[in-house]
Amino acid sequence: MRALCWNGVNKVEVENVPDPKILNDRDAIVQITSTAICGSDLHLLDGYVPTMKKGDVLGHEFMGEVVEVGKGVSNLSVGDRVVVPFPIACGACNACNMELYSLCENSNPNARIAEKMFGHPTAGIFGYSHLTGGFAGGQSEFARVPFADVGPIKIENGFSDEQVLFLSDIFPTGYMGAEMCDIQGGEVIAIWGAGPVGQFAAASARMLGAERVIVIDRFEYRLAIAEQHSGVETLNYEEVDSVPEALKELTGGRGPDACIDAVGMEAHFHGPLYAYDRAKQAARMETDRPYVLREAIMSCRNGGIVSIVGVYGGFVDKFPMGALMNRGLSIRTGQCHVQRYLRPLLERVQNGEIDPSFVVTHRLPLDEAPRGYELFKHKEDDCLKVVLKP
Amino acid sequence: MATHSIRTRDKDSLAVFLGWFSVGLGTAQLLAPKAMCKIVGASGDGASRRLMRLMGARELTQGIGILTRPRPTNWLWARVAGDGLDLSLLTLTLAKNRNGRTLLAIANVLGVTAPDVYESLHLSRKTGEPREGMPVRKAVTINRPREEVERAWANAQELRERVLEADATVSFSEAPGNRGTELAVDFIEQPPAGDLGKAVQKLSGKDLATQLADDLRRFKQLLETGEIVRSDATPAGHLLADHLKQRPAQPLEEAIR
């Protein structure tokens, strides 16, 4: 089959690789009909996630048709149309019992590497380094889905692929980012990053009843999409002198009730601190550039919540711990527990509360995936989200 | 309440660090005396090379002593004495050559003398018999009732034999908050040649703690999910020894079952 392989930093190519096979009884093989490039794939492309190996098949946002099931899978049959969540979860361990699916205790065969890095291991993820198990990803024609009786959700209504594909990652991820803000109604929420996750965080914050949502980015086309589709206010950080000051002034001096970091480890900004972070990251003296995180903490109102859904990988420098502690802020974060959100969010799509396809700007055949990565990485041609068709 | 004695030992991480520091420096002095002479600003002629080698042998011996003994108090004091010797030799060299490198070397020796003295005093304060081995526990929480876990353990013959061989003991208890069963394997970690032997075992993936961690993870997987999870990179399931030779995350040519 054809699959997109990581062949080194800034090098991805579509190659012929063997077709996946059933390895465990609870596996299924899915013929992929749509798959997307995620912002976190760019961290892999850029070489900021350790334990990548030449030839790794990427992709963790995908859906398709079940073509084979292992003998331990009774809830799916050949021909079913499914969306596959990016974390792999067994459904039987304590973490899964608590619906913390991205922390499944059994799905990562490389748990020991993850344990060394993070203290405790995390779940397996499709196409997302060997730290998360070394599972082949879904930017390919077929994919093997372990624990297929737990993760995939059947799509039985006549939705288009693009309306449901993002249930695999970015829609639930954005939603969880907003949910972690404890929105009761009447809040002001600030969101850094108007990429696909930021867009869904903004839309979700509105759905959950936030009174005002302010999205921060530097790309006008992305801010315009957020404004159009989610009715939010926007702030172009390249045009303001200081984001925390601007947010203070926009919120009666209080600061936003909650701040969502939908950017993560490769934050971009202007100023001397950016040069400092780039240099330290290049010298491998810090793995992540936490500029947005610093800004979110400094901006948040006293006693507020900082919700982190942008991806971080290792260590950050100049972390404003004093502000966090003394001003009583709470940090909430995590890789999304997608399985928990599949059904409720599909219902919201069914009820017409949201049509997730609004983020799609580019549709390419799988063979043009490398160009898709280029477009997305460099934000060329007003790119927001690339969907690949195998 | 009880004071736990898990992972208690006389040697702390500073002593272990200083031991490895000695081994590293000593090896360099023994194998590359000319380069080391240059670094400290000495002439590098036959006599000084021989002296450098001699100091290297001393350094290496101290390192091995620190790493292999359970409470290496005297070996740490030997490091302090060695620092004194190094300082006097370097002072002589400085008087002869007036070289900036020698001055830097003196500063470095002084820099390491401080932790040497600190750790020697720390170990000197310890009384009683030195603790030979370190009690280690590998534990896992399995989300199944205790009877079921005990029954599965009784049937896991290979695992039971390994535990028996290692003179380890197994215990089961109910995890707090209805989270299933805690399975704990306790043993005394006492590799031949102390920390030196431990490092060799660790690198080869043959130390018991690592193997048990792998085994218990698999035991848990089987009980909770009914299978050993395999990925494309680790088709045989999780084993530490295979980590470095993992395949790319790409489907296999042939299904291995």
Contact: A105, B220; criterion CB under 8 Å: yes
Give the pLDDT of residue A305: 98
| Among A residues 68-127, those touching chain B with beta carbons less than 8 Å apart | 72, 90, 92-94, 97, 105-113, 124, 127
Give the best residue of B217, B229, B247 to mutate against chain A (max A CB count within 10 A): B229
Q: Are B33 and B53 in contact (CB under 8 A)?
A: yes
Picking from A24, A133, A144, the nearest residue to B227 by CB comes out as A24
B46-97 pLDDT tens trace = 899 999 999 999 999 999 999 999 999 999 999 999 999 999 999 999 998 8
Task: Give, for A390, the enclosing helix (H) or strand (E).
Answer: none
Chain B neighbors of A97, CB-CB under 8 A: 143
A259-309 pLDDT tens trace = 999 999 999 887 888 888 888 888 878 888 999 999 999 999 999 999 999
Residue A84 token pair: 């596959």
Give the pLDDT of residue B1: 59
Residue type at position A172: P
pTM attached to this predicted model: 0.93
User: Long-range pairs for B2-10 at CB < 8 Å and ≥24 separation?
Assistant: B5/B135, B6/B135, B6/B136, B6/B137, B7/B134, B7/B135, B7/B136, B8/B131, B8/B134, B8/B135, B9/B70, B9/B131, B9/B134, B10/B70, B10/B71, B10/B123, B10/B126, B10/B130, B10/B131
Give the best residue of B182, B223, B231 to mutate against chain A (max A CB count within 10 A): B231
Q: Are A228 and A221 in contact (CB under 8 A)?
A: no
Give the pLDDT of residue B203: 81
DSSP letter at A101? G
What stretches in chain A show pLDDT beneath 70?
Answer: none
Chain A neighbors of B232, CB-CB under 8 A: 20, 57, 134-136, 144
- At B51 the three-state DSSP class reads helix
pLDDT band at B237 (very low <50, low <70, confident <90, very high): low
Q: Are A293 and A244 in contact (CB under 8 A)?
A: no
Residue of chain A nearest B240, judged by CA positions: A112
Within an 8 Å CB–CB cutoff, is residue A137 touching chain B? Answer: yes
Report whether pLDDT(B240) > 70: no
Report whether pLDDT(B256) > 60: no
B14-41 pLDDT tens trace = 999 999 999 999 999 999 999 999 999 9
- At A29 the three-state DSSP class reads strand
Q: Where are the alpha helices (DSSP H) in chain A?
A: 39-45, 94-97, 111-118, 161-164, 170-179, 196-207, 220-230, 243-250, 272-282, 291-299, 321-326, 338-350, 369-377
Picking from A54, A130, A144, the nearest residue to B251 by CB comes out as A144
Contact: B224, A93; criterion CB under 8 Å: yes
Contact: B238, A105; criterion CB under 8 Å: no
Q: Measured at the alpha carbon of residue B154, what is the angle toward residues B151 and B158, in degrees to the nearest 5?
A: 135
Instruction: Give dist(CA A9, CA A28) in Å, integer.
Output: 31
Q: Measured at the alpha carbon of residue B34, what is the angle toward residues B32 and B40, in degrees to the nearest 5?
A: 105
Chain A neighbors of B255, CB-CB under 8 A: 21-23
Contact: A23, B246; criterion CB under 8 Å: no
Instruction: Give dist(CA A19, CA A268) in Å, integer.
Output: 39
pLDDT band at B223 (very low <50, low <70, confident <90, very high): very high
A2-31 core/surface letters (b: 16 or more CB in 10 A; e: else): bbbbbbeeeebebeebbebbbbbbbbbbbe
How far is residue A215 from each of residues A174, A180, A201, A310, measured CA to CA in Å?
A: 13, 17, 10, 14
Answer left, alpha or beta for residue B219, where phi above 0 means left and psi between -120 and 50 means alpha: alpha
Report whether pLDDT(B254) > 80: no
Instruction: Give dist(CA A235, CA A243) in Å, integer.
Output: 8
B113-140 pLDDT tens trace = 999 999 999 999 999 999 889 999 999 9
Spatial strand order of the sheet with A212-217 comes to A233-236, A212-217, A188-192, A258-261, A305-308, A330-333
Q: Are A110 and B234 in contact (CB under 8 A)?
A: yes
- At B98 the three-state DSSP class reads coil
Residue A22 token pair: 């059933």
ipTM for the complex?
0.91
Task: Give, for B145, the enclosing helix (H) or strand (E).
Answer: none
Contact: B230, A113; criterion CB under 8 Å: no
Residue A70 token pair: 């292992």
Positive/negative CA dihedral, A298, A299, A300, A303: positive
CA atoms within 13 A on the CB side of B39: 15
Picking from B230, B247, B251, the nearest residue to A24 by CB comes out as B230
Give the residue, B253 or A71, on which the prediction is more confident: A71
A-B contacts at Cβ under 8 angstroms: 133
Give the best residue of A4, A5, A23, A147 to mutate against chain B (max B CB count within 10 A): A23
What's the gap between Cα A55 and its chain centre? 22
Residue A286 token pair: 């810090």
Residue appearing with tokens 């034999």: B161
Instruction: Give dist(CA B100, CA A57) in Å, integer.
Output: 54
| Count of other CB atoms within 10 angstroms of residue A380 | 11
How far is residue A211 from each of residues A188, A193, A258, measured CA to CA in Å?
A: 6, 19, 12
For B143, phi then psi, to 5°, come to -80, 55
Report whether pLDDT(B257) > 50: no
Q: Are B227 and B169 in contact (CB under 8 A)?
A: no
pLDDT band at B235 (very low <50, low <70, confident <90, very high): confident
User: Long-range pairs for B102-105 at CB < 8 Å and ≥24 separation?
Assistant: B102/B40, B102/B41, B102/B42, B103/B41, B105/B39, B105/B40, B105/B41
Task: Give residues with Cβ within 8 angstroms of B158, minimum separation 6.
Answer: none
Give the residue, B237 or A249, on which the prediction is more confident: A249
| Among A residues 138-167, those touching chain B with beta carbons less than 8 Å apart | 144, 146-147
Residue B159 token pair: 């695992």
A77-127 pLDDT tens trace = 999 999 999 999 999 999 999 999 999 999 999 998 899 899 999 999 999
Chain B neighbors of A147, CB-CB under 8 A: 225
CA atoms within 13 A on the CB side of B83: 22
